[in-house]
Amino acid sequence: MKKALLAVMAVALMTGGYFLLANPHTPAAQAAENRTGLVGIAFIAGHGGHLAVVNLANMNPPTDVVKDRIVITEAGSEMEGKVAGLSFEKIKKAGGTHGSALVGNKLYVGLLDGSVVAYDLATGKKSRQIKVGQKFCDAVVGPDGKHIYFEDMADGHVYEWDFKTMKTVDEFPVGAGVCGIAWTRNQKTAYVSDMPTGIVYVLNWKTKKVIGKITDPRMTFIHQIRMAPDERHLWVTCGNEFDPGLKPGTHAPGIAVIDTKTNKIVDFIETPKLFGHDVMFSPDGRTALYTARTYDNDSKLVLINTKTHKIEKEVSVCASCHVPNGINVRIDKGSPLLCGITVAWGMKHKPAAE
């Protein structure tokens, strides 16, 4: 009888333990639910002048103003000063981060005043602001790994910049207010997105001359771009905040997927209420990391399955830190706007703040 009672108690304890672990409200279960299988630290630029820092392994939203962000400069907005050759009301003289490129342990951050700041992830030290262009959107390491390319929203030029000498080695005009650049595998062709016109320009990379244009009614106001791991498809983030002529937007936001063999859109991934700005792919190519604005009190980091094109997870990047810390956004009509994403793949822990 005693043995039978002990056996029943053991089963009960085991069962209780099982239900305890399986309970979705326990910290252990919640941590397991948050795991993504991704190993890396994401750095997300924004108009606030800092980079939000997210550990992709758990996708916990930023909450700590010291540990979960890297301050680069003051705040500033892209839609002020000069944009695509047009002058808008200027509230800030400079400020705002918009994109960054990672080389080794250093992030090279492009600012909305056309300056570049180098930030050392190992030491937490940053360089002085180096004036290069007028208003930078994205920062992309070139196909040869030797230079960084900055796209300028004010003058429509692409700036080629040597990160070793920290000097400009070339610049060439492409469109009105360019925002992203990507290359085909053989480096014969480059694609450059022109934000206010909704055009993706096709360039002969050797001559840097435009040889084609990709347009579509679903691309009216576009941002940064990325070549998919298969190097056959270009993903273009279409915030579509405006229609042609900077009129109020009437088209759905999302991602245009372009076949680089035909230069035609083969799919459009609609992302309702998520106005995309940049996209990056995991090393295995299965996940797209999509940074998007809500134009409310938040901006988000979204995970998209590259096979199904379905959203699998989204996390707050701005409100999660602003709200509990009592931070009020004073630019962009009170909406915190994030921009480009860069990932240090393989990094397991957030870098220490300076």
pLDDT value at 183 more than 70:
yes
Judge if 140 and 228 occupy the same domain. Answer: yes
Of 179, 211, 185, 10, the closest CA to residue 98 belongs to: 179
Domain that holds residue 24: 1-31
* Buried b or exposed e, range 322-341, using 16+ CB within 10 angstroms: beeeeeebebbeebbbbbbb
The confidence score (pLDDT) of residue 14 equals 33
Q: Cα separation of 5 and 120, whole Å?
A: 63
pLDDT score at 77: 77
Residue 353 in any domain: the answer is: no
Pair of tokens at residue 169: 């080695």
Name which of 29-33, 67-71, 131-135, 339-343 the model is least confident about. 29-33
Q: Could you give the number of structural domains in the chain?
A: 2
Tokens of 339: 């921009």
| pLDDT for the residue 147 | 98
Read off the pLDDT of residues 299-322 as tens digits, 9 standing for 90 and up: 999 999 999 999 999 999 999 999
Query: Are 11 and 47 part of one and the same domain?
Result: no
Q: Is residue 86's pLDDT more than 60? A: no
pLDDT at 207: 97
Q: What is the residue type of 13?
A: L
Note the helical H segments in the chain: 2-22, 27-34, 319-322
**167 and 27, same structural domain?**
no
Reported pTM: 0.88
Looking at residue 257, its pLDDT comes to 98
What is the pairing mode between strands 178-183 and 167-173? unpaired
pLDDT of the residue at 352: 77
Q: Are residues 1 and 55 in the same domain?
A: no
What is the reported pLDDT for 9? 37
* Domain presence at residue 312: yes
What single letter denotes the amino acid at residue 304?
Answer: I
State the average pLDDT over residues 46-61: 96
Indicate the pLDDT class of residue 3, thresholds 50, 70 and 90.
Answer: very low
For residue 145 the two structure tokens come to 């790994």
Q: Is residue 351 part of a domain?
A: no
Tokens of 276: 């995309």
